[in-house]
């Protein structure tokens, strides 16, 4: 049994820079041996849920600008899995969730930066799934619920985003977190661990500093998707918590 994860992908630089967070990812990955990884990534948005479906090697997408040349030389040649894609699509359809497939899109940095640390040999098949950031929180959770039990088949469900992700509120060079970012994460962890679904689904109104932490929901909803896929059978667990640039959260959890 492998439990779903939410991991922050933060800056693309985590693929090439060493930090306490990348050390955590590397060490944590050594204890994982999934048959495949299913990734909800904040950097693939679509109005209809879309699932990658092929067995080929993915192209590595550099969907960012202004970073060192070294970062654009990283290649993560993971393969897809049409078999696992088929299972995922069937689950969504059984739950009444509209879904389509994609056979050509590469891995965006929401996926490959994390996977390069967890599985550096790129030897674990990957199925990438888009997100729809404008759906209600309860619906995000329901989408995740469709994938409950995949862990029993040794398939890792991974939500890749960030709980506090406000590029306008970054403080370059600042290592100490802003108190409001910490307070938002404190509240979030409390709701996840109780759990209090009603409060969680109303996070925009109920959580302190929600507007600062989540000015747009694309990086937040992978948390709800991963949480929904966990089934609530075990208490949500904080695996790692650190901050960079004052407000960028690396809160990472297991469900």
β-strand pairing of 126-131 with 36-45: parallel
Q: Which residues neighbour 77 within 8 Å (Cβ) at sequence distance 6 or greater? A: 57, 58, 60, 122
- The percent of residues above 70 in pLDDT, for the chain, comes to 100
- What was the pLDDT predicted at 71? 97
Q: Is the pLDDT of residue 243 over 90?
A: yes
Please provide the average confidence, as pLDDT, over all residues in the chain.
97
Non-local CB neighbours of 136 within 8 Å, separated by 6+ positions: 201
pLDDT (tens digit, 9 = 90+) per residue, 188-231?
999 999 999 999 999 999 999 999 999 999 999 999 999 999 98
Q: Output the pLDDT for position 234.
A: 87
pLDDT value of residue 197: 97
CATH code: domain 5-254 is 3.40.830.10
pLDDT digit string (tens) for 16-27? Answer: 999 999 999 999
Burial class of residue 21 in the structure, from the number of CB atoms within 10 Å of its CB (0-12 exposed, 13-18 middle, 19+ buried) = buried
Q: For 97-117, how does the pLDDT look when each residue is reduced to its tens digit (9 = 90+)?
A: 999 999 999 999 999 999 999
Which residue do the tokens 């048959």 mark?
A: 35
pLDDT band at 31 (very low <50, low <70, confident <90, very high): very high
The pLDDT of residue 219 is 98
Side-chain-side CA neighbours of 53 within 13 Å: the count stands at 14
Tell me whether residue 222 is exposed, middle or buried, using C-beta atoms within 10 angstroms of its C-beta: 0 to 12, 13 to 18, 19 or more: buried
**Alpha carbon distances (Å) from 55 to 66, 70, 79, 102:** 32, 28, 6, 12
* For residues 80-85, average pLDDT: 98
What average pLDDT does this structure show over 84-103?
Answer: 98
Phi and psi torsions of 42, nearest 5°: -65, -15
Domain ranges of the chain: 5-254
Confidence of residue 175 (pLDDT cuts 50, 70, 90): confident
> Tokens 């996840």 map to which residue?
192
What residues pair up with 246 in beta bridges, in sequence order? none
Query: Is pLDDT of 238 > 80?
Result: yes
Q: Which residues contact 118 (CB under 8 A, 6 or more apart)?
A: 25, 26, 28, 29, 32
């Amino acid at each position: 049994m492998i439990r779903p994860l939410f991991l922050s992908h933060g800056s693309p630089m985590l693929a090439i820079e060493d930090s306490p967070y990348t050390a955590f990812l590397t060490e944590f990955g050594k204890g994982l041996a999934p048959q495949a990884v299913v990734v909800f990534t904040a950097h693939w948005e679509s109005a209809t849920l879309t699932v990658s479906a092929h067995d080929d090697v993915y192209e590595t997408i550099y969907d960012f600008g202004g970073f060192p040349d070294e970062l654009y030389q990283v290649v993560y040649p993971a393969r897809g899995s049409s078999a696992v894609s088929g299972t995922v699509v069937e689950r969504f359809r059984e739950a009444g969730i509209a879904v389509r497939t994609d056979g050509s899109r590469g891995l965006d940095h929401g996926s490959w930066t994390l996977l390069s640390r967890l599985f550096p040999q790129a030897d674990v098949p990957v199925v990438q799934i888009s997100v729809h950031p404008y759906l209600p929180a309860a619906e995000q959770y329901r989408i995740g619920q469709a994938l409950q039990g995949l862990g029993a088949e040794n398939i890792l469900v991974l939500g890749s985003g960030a709980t506090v992700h406000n590029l306008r509120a970054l403080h370059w060079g600042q290592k100490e977190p802003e108190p409001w970012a910490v307070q938002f994460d404190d509240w979030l962890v409390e709701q996840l661990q109780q759990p209090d679904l009603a409060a969680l689904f109303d996070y925009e109104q109920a959580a302190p500093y929600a507007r600062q932490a989540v000015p747009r929901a694309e990086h937040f909803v992978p948390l709800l998707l991963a949480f929904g896929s966990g089934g609530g059978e075990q208490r949500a667990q904080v695996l790692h918590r650190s901050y960079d640039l004052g407000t960028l959260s690396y809160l990472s959890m297991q469900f």
